[in-house]
Copies of this chain bind each other. A is one copy, B any other.
């Protein structure tokens, strides 16, 4: 790790790219930027950034190159012509994508003589550079360690998740699945209570308590999953399936969408059919592991 801020380059100045470049500037890094439409650089240039005339010129100016563009195709289109400029550089791709795309980028980048870190930003642009900004990185540990201080300019929650380049994307996917699961449960429950005149706002405190309780169980379920045994200390899948059927019934009786509880029940039905009715909810991991 170096004490004097390394020169960095940010390719792509959408809202997120602008926030990233701004955070590097705020931390004292010599910052070069490039964007397809140069006007987006105006404010950053006013704050001391250098606008490069081309991606190649931008890459030549930095030792740490951060890419944040629309999608994987835009990443490839940007990087492929840069063969000459890349050797010796460290490329950090913060564009959203899949684990397969991350591994593909790593291969291409290696062929171009550069080192690759894949990253996933778990915050909105206004969170960049603040304590809320968690960014997950995967790729060579030594590269992450070497550049950690620069990466921490984007957020103190710079977190290394593993050497497999696909891991940051997989962690992101897992967190999104939890997020949508939680939000959909909240929306379904709120729709249900809404039919009895209960406002969404008044439901929140109690749901918050419930979420906290369930978060506590998750640690115990994780132990069961890793051990491959699912003792039902709390409630069996059989018992929960009866409650799921109630929820389908409640939804139908209230005239709201019952697809979510029907989906949940279908998973439990399969687990019961495989003899898991007496196990804890964690045994449903087996259903999720199967290709549908």
* Contacting pair A257 B170 (CB below 8 A): no
Q: Does A182 contact B (CB under 8 A)?
A: yes
- Asked if A186 contacts B243 (CB within 8 A), the reply is no
Decide: B180 and A182 in contact? CB cutoff 8 A. Answer: no
Question: Is B210 a contact of A222 with CB atoms below 8 Å?
Answer: no
Q: Across the interface, do B214 and A179 meet the contact criterion of CB distance under 8 Å?
A: yes
Of B122, B170, B189, B287, the contact of A198 (CB 8 Å cutoff): B170
Check if B122 sits within 8 Å of A188, measured CB to CB: no
Q: In the docked arrangement, what's the CA distance between A175 and B223, Å? A: 24
From 226 to 247 in chain A, residues with beta carbon under 8 angstroms from any chain B beta carbon are 226, 233-235, 240, 242-244, 246-247
| A198 / chain B contacts, CB cutoff of 8 Å | 162, 167, 170
With an 8 Å Cβ cutoff, the count of chain A residues facing the other chain is 103
Q: Report if A25 contacts B (CB, 8 A).
A: no
CB of A255 within 8 A of chain B? yes
Q: Contact check: which of B199, B200, B207 meets A178 at CB < 8 Å?
A: B207
**Residue contact A96 to B246, C-beta cutoff 8 Å:** yes
Contact of A288 with B257 in the complex, beta carbons under 8 Å: yes
Chain B residue, CB-CB nearest to A211? B215
- How near does chain B come to A213, taking the closest CB pair, in angstroms? 8
Provide the A243-284 mask, 1 if CB < 8 A to any CB of B, else 0: 110110110111111111101100100000000000001101
Q: Are B174 and A122 in contact (CB under 8 A)?
A: no
Does A196 belong to the interface (CB within 8 Å)? yes
Is A250 a contact partner of B170 (Cβ separation < 8 A)?
yes
Q: Known interface pairs A98-B249, A255-B291. Does A181 touch B170 (Cβ–Cβ under 8 Å)?
A: no
A177 touches B188 (CB 8 A): yes
- A130 to B242 CA separation, bound complex (whole angstroms): 26
